[in-house]
Amino acid sequence: MITWAVVGVVLVLVSVLVGIRVTGTKNGSSSSTNSNSNSVTRRAPSALLSEATGLNVGAANAVGVMSPITSVTPPLKISGQRALTSHGRPELLYVGAEFCPFCAAERWPMVVALGRFGTFSQLDITDSAPSPEVFPLTPTFTFYQSAYSSKFVTFVWVETETRTHRPLMSMTNAESALVAKYDIEHYLPMNGSGPGGSIPFLDFGNRFFQAGASFTPALLTGLSQSTIAKGLDDSTSPVTEAIVTSANFLTADICALTHEQPTQVCVLSGVKAADRKSGLQW
């Protein structure tokens, strides 16, 4: 049995929805508590950022939710909860860590989906922790010190630790409470009766949440950020299929929060395919 004190691989929903446990957090706002000097990060080149966040209608529609090589699991839908909002917009909360390979994998569809609703003006690239971590050096981004703007949603990110497990950011009490509330047996029965706390953790407006990655980080082994980003227009690539399928699921969920805005995103046939797969009929 994996406990809150042990960092490891967990089974979430199905075999590919996996994550790493994260310990409790300090009180305070979602802000830096330590220098990021322990992370090997560099600013994402403008071309790479454009490739990752540009609205690629062709790939989004061609892939839809078809990922035959690598299984992709969408977020869970929840109901009866108070809406999570910030600055008058639906809040999208992400909790992860830079060492975490599952967070590394999940940031790809997140960046693709968020690029459909707003703009990253600043975003760094990095890799997950080296061996002996599982899936070492998974190529990814880090949301630490990123800059994102959107008139549709408010994106809140918390990168809790660096690649060397040094403290980086802290969750607020409210954010910690959301993680504790949803990452439990009631919502994730296959997790068992343990304390939960898997990362990456995503909460979209208290209507959709995810604990763990939507696909296995093994898919990205040996690739670079540039290779992955350049391939996002190839709808036949297993890497692209997994990333875009996950991004379409995330996009469909966000569209449910924004009342199907922006229209040019939410009417995409690939997003509508995710609607139907997730049971989100409009």
C-alpha distances (whole Å) from 112 to each of 51, 83, 174, 242 are 9, 24, 27, 12
Task: Kindly give the residue spans of alpha helices, DSSP state H, lying in 15-88.
Answer: 46-53, 57-63
- Report which of residues 192 and 81 the model is more confident about: 81
Which residue is listed with tokens 């035959």?
68
pLDDT tens for 239-258 read 999 999 999 999 999 999 99
**By C-alpha distance, which of 244, 183, 157 is closest to 12?**
183
What is the distance between the alpha carbons of residues 55 and 134, in angstroms, rounded to a whole number? 32
Predicted pLDDT at 171: 95
Residue 101 has pLDDT above 70, yes or no: yes
Secondary structure (3-state) at 42: strand
pLDDT in tens, 54-87: 999 999 999 999 999 999 999 999 889 999 999 9
pTM of this structure: 0.86
State the Cα–Cα distance between residues 236 and 55, nearest whole angstrom. Answer: 18
- Percentage helix, strand, coil for the chain under 3-state DSSP, each rounded to 5: 30, 25, 45
